[in-house]
Amino acid sequence: MFRIPRHIGIIPDGNRRWAKENGLQKEEGYAFGLEPGRKLLQTAKKFGVQELTYYGFTVDNCKRPKEQVKAFSRACIEAVKSAEQENVKIYVVGNTKSSCFPKELLPYTKHEDFENNCHAGNPKVSISQHAKEMRVNFLINYGWEWDMKNNWASKDIPRVDMVIRWGGMCRLSGFLPIQTVYSDFYIVKDLWPDFKEEQFEDALNWYQKQDITLGG
Amino acid sequence: MFRIPRHIGIIPDGNRRWAKENGLQKEEGYAFGLEPGRKLLQTAKKFGVQELTYYGFTVDNCKRPKEQVKAFSRACIEAVKSAEQENVKIYVVGNTKSSCFPKELLPYTKHEDFENNCHAGNPKVSISQHAKEMRVNFLINYGWEWDMKNNWASKDIPRVDMVIRWGGMCRLSGFLPIQTVYSDFYIVKDLWPDFKEEQFEDALNWYQKQDITLGG
């Protein structure tokens, strides 16, 4: 039986490196990450993945040069709007109180699905398999310290079964430290704007060979 | 310049698989992890690594068959005693209140080094480079939930720069979720009892190619 991870975390790294390699300014890379995000969502949906969480940007990222902050904020807003077209439930998590949080995304910061809430956040408990719609979460102006200091602010996001990271680095970079305690990490060497459906399929195939012990 | 990670986390996975592959009972594998642990410590010391944290066993591991629990508890006690011979500072972290915690290790559960304490636990801050002795931590009857629920019980252990995991899995399995938010993960396919110094050196060489952004 082909096991589909219920919830996949996506770290879409490498936009700036891609821009430089293609003779663009660093901040011009983010726009090229939009189409990959849309394609990945459609592919995940096709495979029956029930939940995706995209690493948008962090509180720390906002210390970068202004033109970069502007560019990735805009890309994230567009990513959320684009995901909305795909008939999925959207949830945005991050520090809404700082000026870095895009106001356009405030309407998405309420977690609506009570059914999914009962065991939400507990990495030991997988959620009932009969959720009707796919759920897509975005971490926007997120910070692991902010998350921890605010009584686990991200707790409506449940356990992540697999994290797929583009751009070759093998690290979490602060992505949902509690939800990922048991996650399997799959690293794609290519940069995020070079996303291909096959990379996602390779990740799913790799996932078949991982046992699930949840620390036992 | 060759960058030596200040603090390396070690996940010595694969003892049971190694035992099965070598025609032994699963629980017989742990004893074969002792010599690797000693050799790794000596190698790390030689390279100037200032701190090591070994993943001993977890609260969840204690739900395994009794002979396994007995075997890995004994191996962990011996590992700590063996490390002590190497003129390093030892610190043991875990839930001492449960019956699974080996009484023999209680004397090691106090964090003694005040100098190292000032920034301890804050993954953003690296500790002064002039600590006199190498520090070796062991997670014994540790649990990430226990850690979080007890006001971050492991907070005297500082940021982990690199995690090296033996046994081929690419996951943290609950290893210090806060200290590893920015860690680079290096995976050794071989099982822990098949430890070779070269694997450690390969990890250090790989680490040279990772940039350190701490989420920036």
| Residue B66 in this model has a pLDDT that exceeds 50 | yes
Would you state the structure tokens that stand for residue A41, as one six-digit string? 């969502």
What per-residue confidence (pLDDT) applies to A123? 62
- Euclidean distance between CA atoms A49 and A61, whole angstroms: 29
Given a contact cutoff of 8 angstroms between Cβ atoms, the answer to whether A37 and A121 are in contact is no
B176 touches B130 (CB < 8 A) = no
If you write DSSP's letter for every residue of B3-37 in order, what string do you get?
PPPSEEEEEE--HHHHHHHTTS-GGGGGGGGHHHH
Angle at B204 between CA B198 and CA B210, to 5 degrees: 145
Note the pTM of the prediction, 2 decimals: 0.92
Interface contact flag, A170 B184, Cβ < 8 Å? yes
Smallest CA-to-CA distance from A82 within A38, A27, A128, A33 is with A38
CA B206 to chain CA mean position, Å: 19
Q: Looking at the DSSP assignment, which residues form a beta bridge with residue A91?
A: A137
Smallest Cβ–Cβ distance between A177 and the set B177, B187, B214 belongs to: B177
Cβ-Cβ contacts under 8 Å, A187 against chain B = 170
Q: Which residues of A touch B (CB under 8 A)?
A: 58, 60-61, 63-64, 144, 148, 169-174, 177-178, 180-187, 210, 213-216
pLDDT of residue A121: 54
CA distance B23 to chain A (A): 22
**Mind listing the pLDDT tens digit for each residue in B52-63?**
999 999 999 999
Going from the N-terminus, what domains does chain B have, and what CATH number goes with each? 7-208 (3.40.1180.10)
Read off the pLDDT of residues B105-134 as tens digits, 9 standing for 90 and up.
Answer: 999 999 876 554 445 555 655 554 445 689
Say if CB B124 and CB A58 are below 8 A apart: no
H helices of B85-153, where?
Answer: 114-117, 144-149
Tokens of B144: 């990430």
pLDDT digit string (tens) for A103-150? 999 999 998 765 544 455 556 555 544 456 899 999 999 999 999 999
Chain A closest CA to B171's CA: distance in Å?
Answer: 5
Contact A184 B170 (CB under 8 A): yes
Nearest CA-CA distance, residue B145 and chain A, Å = 9
A196, HSE (Cβ side, Cα atoms, 13 Å): 7
What ipTM did this prediction achieve? 0.91
